[in-house]
Amino acid sequence: MTKAVHRRAFAGIGLAAMVATAALVAAPSQAAGPRDQLREKFDKSLKGKTVAWSPVWMGVLESEWTRVMKDRFDDYGIKLVTRDANMKSDIQLQTVSDYINEKPDVIVVQNPNVTLLAKELKRAMDAGIYVVQVNMASNTLTDAYVGVDAKDLGTKIAREVINQCGGGKGSGEVAILEGEATAAYSLDMKNGAMEVFKTDPSIKVVSSQPTSWDANKAGDITTTVLQQHPKLCGILSVWGPQTAGAAQAIKAANMGDKVKVFVASDGQPADCDLLEQGAFSANLSYRADVQGQTIADAVIALLQGGDKPGAKNIAYYTTPAWVKSKDDRMYCFSIPKGAK
């Protein structure tokens, strides 16, 4: 074989090797095709979309939901519009009505009570807008609900109250601090608790009053209840921040060693602080930051799903956990430094 033939043979082998190598290099890229397509579909479903958020007000709970939602939505090119009703029902009703006229892709709402926004939420879905309700539902079922099962929360806390105040372990006298009387969260939690209390003849609910979510009002109610029922064993409160007022009233009456305080908590750091200080006896806690993630997940699922608004009613229930000592601090969230 001549040198020229050898050169042509080796050249052919080299070319074949390069082609084979190129094929091997290209193979992983081709295998990733479906994954690339999935991401393209994801981005197409989300980028440029608008979510309109209507909280009752921008307290610690709502601010944490907002912070987490914005972080997630910013990552995916979703615009978040927020308008604070500042506890004014007429402003929130107008806000939701304005949102419908502005036609965002999704409306996320925290209902002040079961009726105020019910008709508007249906009108939103009829207008082709997805609706997600958060923690405080209305009488209208929408595309998604994210939050606690408030009735179940009430039953769990009531059982803990019975464990510590019923069956001869205490006087059996219990007071309930409601939130807004017609808010689903408060109403359902109270109903769940009452169903459990009725199963134990040693338990007597001596007071059940709405606080309008106000710590000062909760404190005034508690002061009166303690004066009228000095043998009170326990207080069941549907929300942590309002309970701070009740704890102050108990301390002022020098009854901290007699009255136990059981709290439904959204995981605010202050709730864990008060428990560790002995002002609260037990918190059944759901973390607001985790709920914020779930709200974002619900929105993302709706935008990708392609169902007609109002076609389905999906629930994302939050799982609560007991906080009974400093060892349970992980069930309260931490607010990042610099967070607004």
List the pLDDT tens digit at each of the 340 positions of the chain. Answer: 444 444 444 444 444 444 444 444 444 445 569 999 999 999 999 999 999 999 999 999 999 999 999 999 999 999 999 999 999 999 999 999 999 999 999 999 999 999 999 999 999 999 999 999 999 999 999 999 999 999 999 999 999 999 999 988 999 999 999 999 999 999 999 999 999 999 999 999 999 999 999 999 999 999 999 999 999 999 999 999 999 999 999 999 999 999 999 999 999 999 999 999 999 999 999 999 999 999 999 999 999 999 999 999 999 999 999 999 999 999 999 988 876 5
Extended strands (E) in the chain: 50-54, 79-82, 106-109, 130-134, 144-147, 173-178, 204-210, 234-237, 260-265, 282-285, 314-317, 321-323
Report the C-alpha gap between 142 and 310 in whole angstroms: 6
Domains and CATH numbers, the chain: 42-148+288-319 (3.40.50.2300), 150-285 (3.40.50.2300)
Supply the pLDDT for residue 15.
Answer: 40
Count H helices and E strands in the chain, helices first.
11, 12
Report the C-alpha gap between 259 and 173 in whole angstroms: 10
**Chain centre to alpha carbon of residue 210:** 22
Write down the pTM of the prediction.
0.89
Cβ burial 108-126 (10 Å sphere, 16+ → b, else e): bbbbbbbebbbebbbbbbe
Report the C-alpha gap between 120 and 123 in whole angstroms: 5
Cβ burial 175-212 (10 Å sphere, 16+ → b, else e): bbbbbbeebbbbbbbbebbbebbeebeebebbbebbbe
Query: How many other β-carbons are positioned within 10 Å of the β-carbon of residue 135?
Result: 24
For residue 331, which amino acid is it? Y
Report the C-alpha gap between 168 and 321 in whole angstroms: 27
End-to-end distance of the chain based on CA atoms, in angstroms?
81
Query: How many other β-carbons are positioned within 10 Å of the β-carbon of residue 258?
Result: 16
**Cα four-point dihedral sign 188, 194, 197, 199:** negative
- Closest C-alpha to 89, from 125, 71, 53, 115: 115
From residue 111, give the alpha-carbon distance in Å to each of 32, 72, 83, 93, 186: 44, 23, 14, 10, 12
Report the C-alpha gap between 58 and 287 in whole angstroms: 16
Cβ burial 74-104 (10 Å sphere, 16+ → b, else e): eebebebebbbbebeeeebbebbeebbeeeb
Supply the pLDDT for residue 337.
Answer: 80
Please tell me the total number of residues recorded for the chain in this structure: 340
Residue 237's beta-bridge partner residues?
177, 263
How do beta strands 173-178 and 204-210 pair? parallel
For residue 75, which amino acid is it? D
